[in-house]
Every structure is written in structure tokens, then in C-alpha cells.
């Protein structure tokens, strides 16, 4: 059982940054410094996959590459371009294109969102007695040191909007606004499917109405998006499904640097196991989904159901990042919500003089996930960044199952 103590009083005078936060901050900076050193060594050795290689692709490509396809919007020809997004994702791109300045609008959204995040973290840290200067520098530098955020900005992927919906939904959930959380998570799921698992957080609290509201939001938004995309709902459904699963099928069958460096899906680990065992990889998809779904279902209801909310959010977040067969490095921005909860918990624990088993190690284990995957890529020794990061996500998931991350009641353990 986790230690319990009364509501934490907020210090009246500024306090130094807690050790766990200092270690995380220093480790994040050290990871980038190490990457720069390794990159220079690789460059001198004539190796091309240095620090910035993933960020020198055509800028804004994830946003602009479908512009020609969207000239055929609302027609059958639109779906021949294989739009690899669920319905709301496709509608979001259409809305951005309709502005006439999609990159500018996307960047404006990103700037507002990141500024809001900095302000929120700063306010929370000051509330916990951290000096204002430190509370300002901490989130700003972490953004600058975050490779997933830099990659997201470079590509202008609509993962940004999913991140906004999912993270804001988590904030609402922690504030006790389950209905708002359910709607936001339903919208996130309608954009890229995998955040649907976040609705599972409502079940241990018996928020049945909110759960149904989230499912309804997802279904209704999907249906309305299909109807708008046209020319008919049936045509739109077949076209979207063909594009979505066609993209997935083309990617999961590949075994190239493009797939095993930036893709942190556990599907990569499964493919390695199949190759080592001499089994055909093309038959892996169905067993993978069945086994993964079974593992999550059993662990959630048998173990996570009665664990603290921090554990539940960490487990669900890591699972939704590593379970899809295609999950590129910029999707790791969705790990910041559980990370901030862990850091808040670490702050409160240190203030109260309480040791929470496994907490500091779990926080530090997340550091390599925000570093460039190129740091862990050495093909000559069969080491690839995506596989390393997928293994780390598996370990984080195991930590969420093993260590109860709580020192006070759930309502006080989050970012409140």
C-alpha cells in the first residue's frame, strides 16, 4: 500500500526544485548533449543518420503533401489518394486547407498550445513553492529539448490536435469533469482511433454515463465526418477504411530504416521475435492485436482497476503509444500528461518527506523517449532507435503495474 498523509500545505516561501525534477531536467539536457557528441562522431565516420536527419525532410510535409488530393474532396476520386486518417482527421486537414494558409494556422495553434502548457506548468510549480524563474525555465527548456515536439513542429502533423484533445481531456478528468473529458477523448479517438482507450479511465470510477457519452461522441463525430466528406457515407466509409488500412498494411510489412528507427510500436519487437523464430511476419498482425488486446484487458481489470489514477493514466498512455503497428516518434508528446502527474507527485512526496517506491526511476526512464531516436541507432550492431524506445515503453507499462504511485488520495495526486 502507498503511504498516506493529510492534504499537503503549500510552502509560503520559495523552495528549491525537488531532486527528482532536477535529475529529470539534467538528464534531458545531458541526453541532447550526448546526442550532439555522438552525431559529431558519426559525421566524422561518414555516417549520415545524425541528430537532425529526421528534421531535414521537407518541412511541413505531413500537412502539405495531401493538398493535391483535397482538390477532389467530396468526390469518389478523393479516396484514390489513400488518405491515411480516420474521418475527423481527414476533416481537420480539410479545415486547415480551407483557410488558404494551412501551415500558418497550424503553427498558430501550436504556439498557443505550447504557451498554454508552459503557463499551466509554471503556475502549478509556483503553487508548489518553486521559484518563479525556475518554474518558467523548466517547461520552456523541456520543450526546446524535446525531440518529439521538434519533430511535430517540423512535420506539421495533425497529431497536434489529437494531443490537444487528449491532454485537455485528461486535465478535465483530473478536475472531476468526467463528461467534458469523455467528449474530448471521443474527439481525439475520432481523429486517430487509438485514444479511445483513454475512456477506460472512467470505468474504475463507475462513470458509466460519461463513458457512454465518450463512445457516442466518437461514433457521432465519425458519422458526421463521413457524411460531410461524401459523396455518400458508404463511399466515404469504404474510401477512408481503404486508405487507413492500406497505409497500415504497406508500413507494417516493411523492414527498413525508415520503419525501425522512428517507429516505437511494440509491433517491431514482435517482428524481431518472429524473424528470430523463423516464422512468417506476414501472419503476425491478427495474433498481435489479439494478444495485445488480451494483455491490456487482463492487466487493466485484474491489476490497474484498483491502482492510483497516476498508474492508470501511465499504463493506458504507454499502451496507446506502443500498441498501434505504426506509431512514429512525434506521437510521444502524449506521454507528457502522465509525466507531469509523476513530477507533481514527486514534488509533493519530497515536500512531505515520503518515499514513493519506483517513482524516480520511472521518471528517469522516460528521458530517452524524448531524445532523438538516432542516438540509439547503430545498424552495424543491429541496434535501432524505434526498437529501443518500444522496449522502454514496455518497461514503463510494467512500472505502472508494479509500483503504486500515490501518497495522497487520487484527487490531490494530479495537476490540480
Give residue 40's pLDDT. Answer: 82
As a dihedral over the C-alpha atoms of residue 359, residue 116, residue 201, residue 342, rounded to 10 degrees, the angle is 0
Within 13 Å, how many C-alpha atoms sit on residue 239's CB side? 26
* Residue range of the domain that includes 330: 19-413
Residue entry with cell 503511504: 3
8, part of any domain: no
DSSP alpha helix (H) spans, 99-207: 102-127, 132-144, 147-155, 159-174, 178-192
pLDDT at 268 over 50: yes
Beta-bridge partner residues of 15: 130
Residue entry with cell 500498441: 323
CA separation for the pair 164, 161 (Å, rounded): 5
10, part of any domain: no
What is the percent of the chain where pLDDT is above 90? Answer: 60
Q: What is the pTM of this model?
A: 0.90
| Residues 161-189 pLDDT 10s | 999 999 999 999 999 999 999 999 999 99
378 by DSSP, 3-state: which?
Answer: strand
pLDDT at 2 over 50: no
Give residue 351's pLDDT. Answer: 84
Looking at the structure of the chain, the number of domains it has is 1
Give residue 285's pLDDT. Answer: 79
| Residues 329-356 pLDDT 10s | 999 999 999 999 999 999 999 888 888 9
**Phi–psi pair at 49, nearest 5 degrees:** -85, 75
Give residue 278's pLDDT. Answer: 74
pLDDT at 410 over 80: no
Q: What is the mean pLDDT of residues 117-127?
A: 93
Query: Which residues, in sequence order, are CB contacts of 119 under 8 Å at separation 6+?
Result: none
Give residue 48's pLDDT. Answer: 59
383 by DSSP, 3-state: which?
Answer: strand
Q: What is the mean pLDDT of residues 11-32?
A: 86
Give residue 10's pLDDT. Answer: 53
| Residues 52-100 pLDDT 10s | 455 556 688 889 988 999 999 999 989 886 777 899 999 999 999 999 9
Residue entry with cell 512525434: 330
Mean pLDDT of the chain: 87
Q: State how far the alpha carbon of 10 is from the alpha carbons of 15, 119, 128, 292, in Å.
A: 10, 19, 6, 42
pLDDT at 113 over 90: yes
5, part of any domain: no
| Residues 215-235 pLDDT 10s | 999 999 999 999 999 899 999
Q: What is the mean pLDDT of residues 23-27?
A: 95
Q: How many CB atoms lie within 10 A of CB 198?
A: 27
Q: How many CB atoms lie within 10 A of CB 77?
A: 12
9, part of any domain: no
| Residues 275-329 pLDDT 10s | 777 777 777 778 888 999 999 999 999 999 999 999 999 999 999 999 998 888 9
DSSP string, 109-133: HHHHHHHHHHHHHHHHHHHTTB-HH
Amino acid at each position: 500500500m502507498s503511504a498516506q498523509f493529510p492534504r499537503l500545505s503549500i510552502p509560503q516561501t520559495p523552495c528549491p526544485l525537488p531532486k527528482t525534477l532536477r535529475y529529470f531536467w539534467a538528464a534531458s539536457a545531458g541526453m541532447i548533449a550526448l546526442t550532439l557528441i555522438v552525431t559529431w562522431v558519426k559525421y566524422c565516420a561518414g555516417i549520415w543518420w545524425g541528430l537532425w536527419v529526421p528534421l531535414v525532410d521537407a518541412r511541413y510535409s505531413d500537412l502539405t503533401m495531401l493538398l493535391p488530393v483535397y482538390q477532389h474532396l467530396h468526390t469518389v476520386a478523393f479516396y484514390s489518394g489513400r488518405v491515411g486518417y480516420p474521418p475527423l482527421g481527414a476533416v481537420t486537414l480539410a479545415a486547415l486547407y480551407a483557410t488558404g494558409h494551412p501551415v500558418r494556422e497550424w503553427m498558430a495553434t501550436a504556439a498557443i498550445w505550447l504557451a498554454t502548457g508552459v503557463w499551466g506548468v509554471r503556475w502549478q510549480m509556483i503553487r508548489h513553492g518553486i521559484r518563479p524563474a525556475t518554474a518558467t525555465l523548466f517547461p520552456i527548456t523541456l520543450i526546446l529539448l524535446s525531440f518529439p515536439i521538434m519533430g511535430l513542429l517540423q512535420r506539421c502533423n495533425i497529431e497536434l490536435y489529437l494531443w490537444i484533445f487528449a491532454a485537455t481531456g485528461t486535465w478535465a478528468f483530473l478536475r472531476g469533469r468526467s463528461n467534458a473529458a469523455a467528449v474530448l477523448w471521443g474527439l481525439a479517438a475520432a481523429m486517430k482511433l487509438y485514444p479511445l482507450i483513454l475512456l477506460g479511465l472512467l470505468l474504475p470510477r463507475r462513470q458509466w454515463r460519461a463513458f457512454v457519452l465518450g463512445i457516442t461522441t466518437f461514433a457521432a463525430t465519425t458519422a458526421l465526418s463521413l457524411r460531410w466528406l461524401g459523396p455518400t457515407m458508404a463511399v466515404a466509409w469504404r474510401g477512408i477504411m481503404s486508405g487507413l488500412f492500406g497505409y497500415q498494411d504497406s508500413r507494417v510489412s516493411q523492414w527498413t530504416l525508415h520503419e525501425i528507427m522512428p517507429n516505437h510500436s511494440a509491433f517491431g519487437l514482435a517482428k524481431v521475435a518472429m524473424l528470430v523464430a523463423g516464422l512468417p511476419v506476414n501472419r503476425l498482425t491478427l495474433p498481435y492485436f489479439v494478444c495485445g488486446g488480451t494483455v491490456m484487458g487482463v492487466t487493466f481489470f485484474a491489476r490497474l482497476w484498483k491502482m492510483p489514477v497516476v498508474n492508470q493514466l501511465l499504463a493506458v498512455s504507454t499502451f496507446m503509444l506502443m500498441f498501434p503497428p505504426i506509431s512514429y516518434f512525434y506521437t510521444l508528446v502524449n506521454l507528457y500528461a502522465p509525466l507531469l502527474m509523476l513530477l507533481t507527485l514527486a514534488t509533493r512526496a519530497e515536500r512531505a518527506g515520503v518515499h514513493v517506491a519506483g517513482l524516480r526511476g520511472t521518471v528517469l526512464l522516460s528521458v530517452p523517449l524524448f531524445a532523438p531516436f538516432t542516438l540509439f541507432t547503430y545498424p552495424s550492431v543491429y541496434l535501432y532507435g524505434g526498437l529501443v524506445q518500444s522496449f522502454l515503453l514496455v518497461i514503463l507499462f510494467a512500472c505502472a503495474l508494479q509500483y503504486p504511485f500515490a501518497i495522497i488520495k487520487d484527487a490531490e495526486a494530479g495537476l490540480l
